[in-house]
Structure 1
Amino acid sequence: MIDFEPKYITFDCYGTLTNFQMGQSARELYGDKLDPAKMDEFVEFFRGYRMDEILGAWKPYRDVVVNSVRRTCERTGVPFDEATALKIYEAVPGWGPHADVPEGLSRLASKYKLVILSNASDDQIHSNVGKLGAPFHKVYTAQQAQAYKPLQKAFEYMFSQLDCNPEDVLHVSSSFRYDLMTAYDMGIRHKAFVNRRHEPLNPYYGVNEVSGIPQLASLLGL
């Protein structure tokens, strides 16, 4: 059990709640240009460049995706076409939740105020949130914060908007690199790692590991 009553439960969205399909989209668009091993390499480079693109000054998420595809194409010798890269960005609003999410969120929403802090653009995120099956108290984006996670500025924006402190929230994510390491550094004591199998558990950061959102609800007595 989690022996804590948060003022807010704050969530990462893409990957944690929404089924993140950036790699799959890349495979669909570039799979006919590379053999399977090279395609796996392409997806990994694309993942790394997306992280690299968000660590500086804020830029629109469209540019993050397109720049990451361009750099990946240059790295792997695949011809770059901006219109093809944009198809990956344009697919984002159609992504739906992981199968466990609507049930778990509806249980949590019966008692707690739910908040999203997402590396998203304002013109896309609400389509994804609308598919999650539960009401959210607030939805904050990198565009609003003018900073992407893992930068602390993104979390600071959320705390300022909510008028609360790090110790008031339970932060939930499937990513240590984007969320949970920064949450630890900021003094967020209560954290949950949703193990979606795209990052390994790292116990050093003091998280409650759960397999899905229903298990999180159970740990909170719901």
Structure 2
Amino acid sequence: MDLTGFRPRYITFDCYGTLTNYQMNDAVTPLVTDRVAPEDLRVFLKDFRAYRIDEVLGAYQPYREVLRHSWQRVCNRWRIPYRHTDVEVITAALASWGPHPDVPEALAALASEYPLVILSNADDDLLAGNVEQLGVDFHRVFTAEQAKAYKPRYQAFDYMLDQLDCGRDEILHVSSHMWYDVIPCHEQRITHKVYVNRGYDPSTPFYEYAETPDLTGVPELLGLTVGAAR
């Protein structure tokens, strides 16, 4: 996708993984070293991710409950003891994570020209500390708690667009998640998209997006220079 000449009314971002360094595997691994063999760890982590995906597809529940139910389900599947304290450790870790190294400078360049918006699969209080560490002021920060729905459900995107009072062709949506963001944006005819390929999902060009390996590519796609906002 060529974004030359396009001036979005808003640039909207996924947060966890795209802006904030999503370190779920690092947080989980020490919790299960006494219950999961090293050679099985990769599959265990993959199963935990799958249950988190499944949990956000139903009726809205706070993200703490998404984590708790996902953890219960993966522990049951692996026939290992469930410890509620594990969920508390995971939740505390999530709220502490900061940005990827490439993010602050790229965001500063974008913020100098455009209003920036976040749409995140999170609770308001959990996300607040992550957003504070990003180093720029956002025009709006929307969460699943506010929308009462998680991405990839269309209700989350509809809520954001309604609150911004703008058209689907007026935003540029940026995400490192194909399944949560890029695909549902494509299906909803949100035309302008950037896939930040951090390795979470494979590239799928059918869904019509610009691609960059990190966030520094986003200002460049819009004709901006990273560092110019200093």
TM-score in same-fold range (> 0.5) = yes
Aligned to 1:59: 61
Q: Deviations over 1:89-121 (max 9, x none)?
A: 121110001010001000000000100000000
| 1:29-40 alignment runs, 5 A limit | 29-40=31-42
Opposite residue 104 of structure 1, the aligned amino acid is A
Higher helix share: 1
SS across alignment from 2:189:
coil
* Structure 1: distance between partners of 2:98 and 2:89: 17
Over the residues paired in the alignment, what is the CA RMSD in angstroms?
0.9
Aligned to 1:207: 209
What is the Cα deviation at residue 38 of structure 1? 1.4
One of 178, 186, 191 as aligned partner of 1:189: 191
Query: Structure 2 length as normaliser, TM-score?
Result: 0.94
What is the Cα deviation at residue 126 of structure 1? 1.2
Q: Deviations over 1:14-35 (max 9, x none)?
A: 0100011112211121123222
Q: Deviations over 1:156-192 (max 9, x none)?
A: 0000100011111000000111001000011111000
Opposite residue 117 of structure 1, the aligned amino acid is L
Aligned to 2:156: 154
Aligned to 2:73: 71
Aligned to 2:227: none
Aligned to 1:19: 21
* Structure 2: distance between partners of 1:30 and 1:175: 26
What is the Cα deviation at residue 134 of structure 1? 1.5
SS across alignment from 2:142:
strand
Ranges of 4+ aligned residues in structure 1 off by more than 2 Å = none
Identity in percent:
48
- Paired residues, number: 222
Aligned to 1:122: 124
* Structure 1: distance between partners of 2:97 and 2:183: 26
Give ranges in structure 1 of 5+ residues lacking alignment. Answer: none
Give ranges in structure 2 of 5+ residues lacking alignment. Answer: 225-230
Opposite residue 3 of structure 2, the aligned amino acid is I
SS across alignment from 1:80:
coil
* Structure 1: distance between partners of 2:45 and 2:19: 21
